[in-house]
Amino acid sequence: MDLIGLYPTWYEPGIGSGWVIGLIATIHVLFSHTAVGAAMLFTYLAYIGYRDDRPELLDFIKKYGLFLLVFSYILGSITGPGIWYSTTVGSPRGISALIHNFVWKWATEWVFFVIEVVGVYMMVYLVGKVDKGTYLRIAITFGLASFATMLAIVGILSFMMEPGRPEWFTHGGYLLGFYGDNTFAQLGIRFAFMFTITAVVGGIVVAGLKDPVFKTWLARRLAILGIVSAVVGMAFYPWYLSTLPAQAQIVMENRIPGYFNSAILTVLIATVVYFLFTLIKPRMLTAGIAGFATLAILILGLFPGETIRESARKPFVAGEYLYSNQVIAKDVPGMTVKSELPTLDKVGFTHASVFWPEELRTITPQNAVEVGRTLAITACSNCHSLSPTGIRPIAGYFGGNTDVSKIKTYLIGALSTGNTAYMPRIPLKDAEAEALAVYLASLADPTVVARFVDEKTRAAQQKDSSAPLNTSSAAPASLIAAQE
Ligand code: HEC
């Protein structure tokens, strides 16, 4: 049987499922990076605190730790499962691809995460209650466990961009999928920026310190940490870009707006200026200013950064074999995965897709627009919102065009052939392309549908044939000829 196991698509009309995932994930990045950065900062502060006998440093760990318990650990632990939920419905086969490759890596990450969570409680509540050596050992364990969670996740994230080594396609195995140039470049860049974020968020806690001398000392240390890590992170950026697969390089060159590089530079300069301010005028640091800077980092730094990572890997969502619209695009012998494009070429979505509504498998003039909408939801809506809002609204790309045959020609010429670097190859049978074209044209002008039904009915009467349009390979040749 020519079937492919596409799940029913989760269609979110407001902003698109991609942005729902993106929003949750970006907020999670803020919390998780702060958690890991702070863990390492705590380890360092605990060491200095005991070495130089400075109890106020341990006191600060307690304060920042308590703040993080709410900020990072509670909110981070809500958004973490939020990513699981939203990706499971938004990209079920994407998450499945990752689980099939990395289930034990993820289990390992979870163990380290539990150590991290227990660790932060111990760091907060055991200050002054256990001896110096024990506290330091807890601090070091906490720091290392946090770093391990980051390493595990980065390996998985970088697999989404590209498998670590090309041999993975033929051999499979998580080591080949996990470790690659992109893994290390991404680890470097995240490692650096996580300290920038830690320094910014730490400012919220530092602002509330009573002792002006200590506040000045700490604000200056955080400022230096922030400046150095932002500059180092930025220096890693070209390295990161150079590790992107060729496909992503093309997408980046063509699709990333020209102002992007100057925008990044502006954010970097603004970050450095902010830290220079806290370096020179540490006493003027207030929780409001630091909170505002945190928000700015989130909106101007993390959101664009994560958007780029997600755009660059188009048309794939994972491992350079799974398209964002959930269709498997390549044979991967190492995972005994087979491309689904030949099946789609043969029978089309209407007949290959398991969950396709039965009444829409046979295309008639009357149901064409509904078939088109279902096709758009299945094949396009992962990357294009079908409403005017949200992710790359589809109507905008057709510029109000209502000419069904022109749109159909474009769909066959550009999408069915896979001629567009950043879009998947989307095989459409002739009648499917027409149905999708009717739907797309109807977005600009709903009366297109009635005209289309009219024309088709008249044409059918002229040919003295009332048979339904049908693309299945089983359809008699005369029918296929009739609709062309
Ligand atoms: C993997 C994600 C993805 C899928 C699935 C996808 N597109 Fe696109 N599409 C893009 C991206 C990315 C662009 C470029 C947008 C930009 O940079 O403004 C684009 C651009 C377009 C354009 C503008 C013309 C062009 O060549 O740039 C049209 C038209 C379009 N898409 C139609 C569709 C239709 C119709 C479908 C479903 C049959 C679809 N797309 C599915 C990602 C996708």
The arithmetic mean of pLDDT across residues 427-456, rounded, is 95
> Does the pLDDT of residue 483 top 60, yes or no?
no
Length of the chain: 484
DSSP-derived secondary structure letter, 127: T
Mutate to test the pocket of ligand 1, among 254, 307, 314, 397 (most ligand atoms within 8 A of CB): 397
Q: Which residues contact 148 (CB under 8 A, 6 or more apart)?
A: 108, 109, 112
Supply the pLDDT for residue 190: 94
Asked if residues 372 and 439 have their Cβ atoms less than 8 Å apart, the reply is: yes
Band (408; pLDDT cuts 50, 70, 90) = very high
Closest C-alpha to ligand 1, atom 7 = 423
Supply the pLDDT for residue 70: 86
Q: Kindly give the interhelix angle for 181-206 and 212-242, rounded to the nearest 10 degrees.
A: 160
Q: Which residues contact 183 (CB under 8 A, 6 or more apart)?
A: 154, 155, 158, 164
What would the DSSP string read from start to end of 363-385? --TTTHHHHHHHHIIIIITTTS-
Q: Kindly give the interhelix angle for 181-206 and 17-51, rounded to the nearest 10 degrees.
A: 70
Q: Which residues contact 56 (CB under 8 A, 6 or more apart)?
A: 49, 211, 214
Q: Is the CB of 413 under 6 A from ligand 1?
A: no
CA dihedral 351, 353, 356, 360 (to 10 degrees): -20
Atom of ligand 1 nearest to the CA of 381: 5
Closest C-alpha to ligand 1, atom 9 = 423
Quote the CA–CA distance of 152 and 95 in Å, as a whole number. 15
Query: How much distance in Å is there from the Cα of 351 to the middle of ligand 1?
Result: 23
Q: Is the CB of 424 under 6 A from ligand 1?
A: yes
Q: Is the CB of 378 under 6 A from ligand 1?
A: no
Mutate to test the pocket of ligand 1, among 349, 371, 374, 384 (most ligand atoms within 8 A of CB): 384
Supply the pLDDT for residue 465: 56
Band (27; pLDDT cuts 50, 70, 90) = very high
Quote the CA–CA distance of 391 and 269 in Å, as a whole number. 29
Report pLDDT digits (tens) over 254-302. Answer: 767 777 778 888 889 999 999 999 999 999 999 999 999 999 988 888 8
Least confident piece of the model among 12-21, 371-380, 424-433 = 12-21
The arithmetic mean of pLDDT across residues 421-429, rounded, is 93
Supply the pLDDT for residue 265: 87
Q: Kindly give the interhelix angle for 341-352 and 368-375, rounded to the nearest 10 degrees.
A: 130
> Does the pLDDT of residue 241 top 60, yes or no?
yes
Report pLDDT digits (tens) over 343-368. Answer: 999 999 999 999 999 999 999 999 99
Report pLDDT digits (tens) over 83-115. Answer: 999 999 999 999 999 999 999 999 999 999 999
Please identify which residue in the block is written with the tokens 């180092």.
232
Residue percentage of the chain with pLDDT more than 70 = 95
Mutate to test the pocket of ligand 1, among 321, 423, 426, 434 (most ligand atoms within 8 A of CB): 423
Q: Is the CB of 379 under 6 A from ligand 1?
A: yes
Query: How much distance in Å is there from the Cα of 384 to the middle of ligand 1?
Result: 7
Q: Is the CB of 380 under 6 A from ligand 1?
A: yes
Band (469; pLDDT cuts 50, 70, 90) = low
Report pLDDT digits (tens) over 291-338. Answer: 999 999 888 888 888 778 788 888 999 999 999 999 999 999 999 999
> Does the pLDDT of residue 475 top 50, yes or no?
no
What would the DSSP string read from start to end of 309-337? HHHHTTTEEETTTEETTS-B-S-BGGGTB
Q: Is the CB of 325 under 6 A from ligand 1?
A: yes
> Does the pLDDT of residue 479 top 80, yes or no?
no
Q: Which residues contact 65 (CB under 8 A, 6 or more apart)?
A: 38, 42, 120, 123, 124
What would the DSSP string read from start to end of 96-107? HHHHHHHHHHHH
- Cis peptide, bond prior to residue 427, ω within 30 of zero: no
What would the DSSP string read from start to end of 398-425? GTT---HHHHHHHIIIIIITT--TTS--
Domains of the chain: 17-323 (1.20.1630), 340-483 (1.10.760)
Amino acid type, 393:
P
Supply the pLDDT for residue 83: 94
Q: Is the CB of 421 under 6 A from ligand 1?
A: no
Q: Which tokens belong to 199?
A: 């320094």
> Does the pLDDT of residue 437 top 90, yes or no?
yes
Q: CA nearest 225: which of 26, 34, 71, 63?
A: 34
Supply the pLDDT for residue 460: 86
Residue percentage of the chain with pLDDT more than 90 = 78
> Does the pLDDT of residue 219 top 80, yes or no?
yes
Report pLDDT digits (tens) over 69-78. Answer: 988 888 888 9
Closest C-alpha to ligand 1, atom 10 = 423
Supply the pLDDT for residue 464: 65
Supply the pLDDT for residue 468: 55
Supply the pLDDT for residue 220: 96
With helix as H, strand as E and coil as C, how does 208-236 read? CCCCHHHHHHHHHHHHHHHHHHHHHHHHH
DSSP lists the bridge partners of residue 370 as none
First to last CA, the chain: 27
Least confident piece of the model among 66-75, 160-169, 441-450 = 66-75
Query: How much distance in Å is there from the Cα of 394 to the middle of ligand 1?
Result: 8
pTM score, two decimals? 0.88
Task: Give the up-direction half-sphere exposure of residue 126: CA atoms within 13 A in the CB hemisphere.
Answer: 17
Supply the pLDDT for residue 482: 41
Supply the pLDDT for residue 480: 40
Q: Is the CB of 94 under 6 A from ligand 1?
A: no
Band (390; pLDDT cuts 50, 70, 90) = confident
Q: Which residues contact 200 (CB under 8 A, 6 or more apart)?
A: 226, 271, 274, 290, 293, 294, 297
